[in-house]
Amino acid sequence: MNKLDAYVGKTVLLSVLAVFFVVVGLDVVFGFIAELDQLEKDYQTKEALIYTLYTIPRRIYLFIPVCALIGCLIGLGALASNSELTVMRAAGISVPRIVMYATKPLVMVVAIGLLLAQFVVPQLEQYAQSERAMQQNGGKAISARHGYWYREENRFIHVTAIQPNGVMFGVARFDYDNNGTLKSSDFSEKAIFQGDHWILQDVRLTTLEKNRSRVQEVSALRWNTAITPDMLSTIVLLPDYLSISGLYEYSNYLVLQGIDSTPYYFAFWKKVMQPLATVVMVFIAVSFIFGPLRSVTMGQRITAGVVTGLTFNYTQDILGHVSIVFHVPPVVAASAPIVVCLVFGVVMLRRA
């Protein structure tokens, strides 16, 4: 039985790795082509290629459920084509046990994906986007086209580039009163984190008075704020690129600021449930193999896997927007496609 377990697991794992190589490789190529439209100033073909390479860990993580589904369809489909699954069933091996055989090697893939999402992807993405922003500005810190906005009570802040080591470039702050009237603004070439505060460098202050404005320039200015470099990484990156802990912390921060945190809570639950989604994709693959895809060609199995995987991803994305518009709890929106796929797989197996 251990040999059978290892044989099925090895077949599935090799198929999943092959699918990863093809799918992620194509996504990297298309991503690089898309970056060629962003060439500007110091950001040229070489820099676009380096930026794209930095995004590979993020692409690997995002494609885990889809690649697991397609890889299982290919691996188990090959066993079905050789009548090996039929022999297993005739020998008394149950379908749940076959699901377990196929799932075991993917536990390692899911574990690696979680490590990438928590420790590797946020750091590489932030560094890559910071470098790209600076290169697209020609090495200058001032830019309104590239950068990031966030709000802190009645203050709105725009940052051109944020580096993971606690350094910001091109920091603009706009202070409003409770009536929404602009009181003052300032611009700093650079800001450095000092443990519990920031030091703004080369600051130009503008204060709006009743009939005039007053401009003042200072070399350094202390900025006391609850924003830390870790929180800033959540501002730079899309929710899907953030770590699980970063999503949770920033969601709570937004709640304290009175800002809608639904997109970040949805991304948090989506990441938490990704291991379960991967297992459900394996279950769907088994239901396909024992059901309608038992005696079809490999091309048809791959097509079915691609369509199912893309439908799952798009459904999750759509439900993310639905949760924002209609105030659906993020945990419900993130888990709904998984539950539907699980029920669908059970129905398929019962019919088979």
Answer yes or no: are the C-beta atoms of 171 and 157 closer than 8 Å.
Answer: yes
Scored b (16 or more CB within 10 A) or e, 343-352 reads eebeebbeee
Q: Cα(35)–Cα(43) distance, rounded to whole angstroms?
A: 10
**pLDDT at residue 144, rounded to an integer:** 53
Show pLDDT as tens, one digit a residue, over the chain (352 residues). 588 899 999 999 999 999 999 999 999 999 999 999 989 888 999 999 999 999 999 999 999 999 999 999 999 989 988 889 888 988 888 888 888 899 888 899 999 999 999 999 988 998 898 888 878 876 554 555 567 888 888 899 988 888 877 888 889 999 999 888 999 999 998 999 998 899 999 999 999 988 888 999 999 999 998 888 877 777 778 888 888 988 888 888 888 878 888 999 999 999 999 999 998 998 899 888 887 767 778 788 888 888 898 899 889 889 988 888 888 999 999 999 999 998 988 888 777 6
CB atoms within 10 A of CB 29: 11
* Pairing between β-strand 148-152 and β-strand 213-223 as defined by DSSP bridges: unpaired
Residue type, 351: R
Concatenate the DSSP letters of all residues of 217-267 into one string.
Answer: EEEEEEE--S--HHHHHHHHS-GGGS-HHHHHHHHHHHHHTT---HHHHHH
Compute how many other C-beta atoms are within 10 angstroms of the C-beta atom of residue 225.
13
Q: Which of 170, 174, 153 is nearest to 161 (CA)?
A: 170
- Which residue, chain included where needed, has tokens 């709105």? 156
Retrieve residue 344's tokens: 């669908």
> What pLDDT score does 41 carry?
84
Q: 340: which residues sit within 8 A by CB, 6+ positions away?
A: 315
Q: What is the CATH number of domain 154-225?
A: 2.60.450.10
The domain locations on the chain are 2-135+261-351, 154-225
Question: Please, which residues have CB within 8 angstroms of residue 215's CB and are 6 or more apart in sequence?
Answer: 204, 205, 206, 207
Enter the pTM of the model. Answer: 0.83
